[in-house]
Structures are given as C-alpha cells and as structure tokens.
C-alpha cells in the first residue's frame, strides 16, 4: 500500500518504520526536517504538506499531540481533506492513532465523512518500548469494513488489535486504560515511598507483592523502573497529565464521579508543575518523595 504517516515523534517514528519494513511505501510530512532523517534508507517519500501526503496515499495515519493538532492536520487549509479533494479519488482512509477526547474524534470523523473520507480512531497503549517492538495494544473505533481494510497495517504495529465500537469508542477505551495505568503508577509510587519512609527495603516489598494478589504489570515493570531510578521517558508525564485531563473532561460532560482518576490527575499536574513533565510517568515516585521530605 501507499501509506501516509504524519507525526514522527517518539511513538510514530518506529511505527512508520515497521510499515516500511513490511513493504509498504511511505508518504511523509513533518514540521521538523530532523524527524525525516531516520527514513533515508527506506521506501519513503517526503512531502511539503499533509495535503500532498493525502494525494499520494490510500491510508493516512496521524499520531500527533492532541485534538487541535489532529483537526489541523486533517481539516486545515493544507490538511489531508484538502489533498483528498484535489486527488478526486474516493476511498481515502484516515487513521488517527493520537490520544484525544472521544467527542473530538467523533466530530473530526463526522466532518471527514461529509467529505467522503473514512475515519478510524485508533489510540495505543504500550509506550515507546511497545512501539519499537511492534507490541502495542491498539484500540479502534469506526466502521467494521474500514477496520478490516486497515487491520493488516495494525498487525505490523501491535500485538493486540481490537475493534471496540463506532467512531470514538477507541478513545473511550484509551481513556479507561489511562485511568487504570495512571492510578496504578501512583499506587505503586505510594507503596514504595511508604515502605522506604518506614525503613523497609522497597525492592524486597516489591518481590513479596509480586507473588500475591497485589501483582500487576505496573508493579512489575514500572515498579522496577522506580527502583532503578530510571526516569528516562517511555511515556512522558506531561502526556499522562494530558490524557487524564481528557478523562476528567469526559467525566464532567457525563456527570460521572471518578474519585481515583481525579486525585491522580491532580498528582500528575503536580509532577508537571514541579518541572518533571519530560520525565517518565514513574517520576510520580520523585514527587511523593519530595512532598514527604521535610525542608
């Protein structure tokens, strides 16, 4: 296939490279020329705009920061829809793998549909390591027949690919994922900080808890990173802050009480406000240590 890819950052870059290695021809656009450097040795064509990408591609994948960026890339003056209109060939599919508000995904999908463009929202879980290893969990919203067409591409980027429901359902699933992972990271950080402040070896506590009902992949993976003081970003704290903002926006819209998610969202606000936004989300441990240490 001729596949467009827009958003070649921490996550998008390895995903696009997987598609190139699988034999697909890439059509790329990036705001920063440096983002295109890794694609010198693969079958990839660089274009001057998102519109130009759309003119050459059957499927365009976007993976950008937030809903305004998705809207600009898809529906802006030099966006995907503009290129599709110039191309004058039906059947273009846009797949947004960003994490955005479910309502925003529905609105963008509806506006693209009005222009004859199919849309899937397909956010992911697994972080940079999952992207590099093509081991992501991919949660998809959209029409089943469109999902079936794109599924072979998803399978080159992830190990678990699930059609959740109609447009926006993928983003709802991702919001649920971010509630569980955000609260989980904070719970592990709290437990480790409690153990340390009690004069007990947190590594030994983790070893014991891994053998009981407290076991979780977050305790196993993120817990080890906390013990190693490895705060290099696989998933930056500011990204989790943004995702929990989306959760709380939807909670307000739906009139839902999400007490654990709300408290965790505030803690991620504090992480970012303390200058640790570029660290991995496991920097939650550093925040709790800071708050519990007398000046």
| Residue 174 falls in the annotated catalytic set | yes
Question: Which of 180, 226, 236 lies closest to 203 in space, CA to CA?
Answer: 226
Contact 119, 113 (CB under 8 A): yes
Q: Which class for 83: exposed (0-12), middle (13-18), buried (19 or more C-beta within 10 A)?
A: buried
End-to-end CA distance of the chain: 59
Q: Across the strands, what pairs with 59? A: 3, 93
Separation CA 24–CA 214 (nearest Å): 43
Contact 161, 138 (CB under 8 A): yes
* Tokens 């072979």, located at residue: 152
Contact 282, 247 (CB under 8 A): no
Q: Which of 40, 55, 156, 174 is catalytic?
A: 174
Active site residues per annotation: 174
């Amino acid at each position: 296939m001729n596949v467009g890819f827009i958003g070649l950052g921490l996550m998008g870059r390895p995903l696009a490279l997987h598609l190139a290695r699988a034999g697909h021809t890439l059509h790329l656009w990036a705001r920063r020329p440096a983002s295109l450097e890794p694609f010198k040795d693969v079958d990839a064509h660089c274009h001057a705009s998102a519109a130009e990408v759309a003119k050459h591609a059957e499927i365009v994948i976007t993976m950008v920061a937030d809903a305004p960026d998705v809207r600009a890339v898809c529906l802006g003056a030099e966006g995907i829809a503009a290129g599709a209109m110039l191309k004058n060939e039906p059947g273009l599919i846009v797949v947004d793998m960003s994490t955005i508000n479910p309502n925003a995904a529905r609105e963008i999908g509806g506006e693209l549909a009005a222009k004859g463009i199919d849309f899937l929202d397909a956010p992911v879980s697994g972080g940079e390591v999952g992207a590099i290893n093509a081991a992501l969990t991919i949660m998809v919203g959209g029409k089943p027949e469109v999902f079936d067409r794109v599924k072979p591409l998803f399978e080159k980027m992830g190990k678990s690919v699930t059609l959740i429901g109609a447009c926006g359902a993928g983003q709802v699933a991702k919001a649920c994922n971010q509630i569980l992972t955000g609260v989980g990271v904070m719970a592990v950080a709290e437990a480790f900080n409690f153990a340390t402040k009690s004069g007990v070896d947190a590594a030994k506590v983790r070893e014991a808890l891994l053998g009981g009902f407290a076991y979780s992949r977050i305790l196993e993976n993120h817990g080890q990173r906390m013990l190693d003081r490895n705060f290099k970003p696989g998933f930056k704290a500011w990204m989790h802050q943004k995702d929990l903002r989306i959760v709380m926006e939807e909670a307000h819209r739906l009139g839902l009480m999400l007490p654990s998610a709300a408290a965790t969202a505030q803690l991620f606000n504090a992480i970012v406000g303390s200058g640790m936004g570029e660290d991995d989300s496991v920097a939650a441990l550093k925040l709790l240590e800071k708050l519990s240490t007398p000046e």
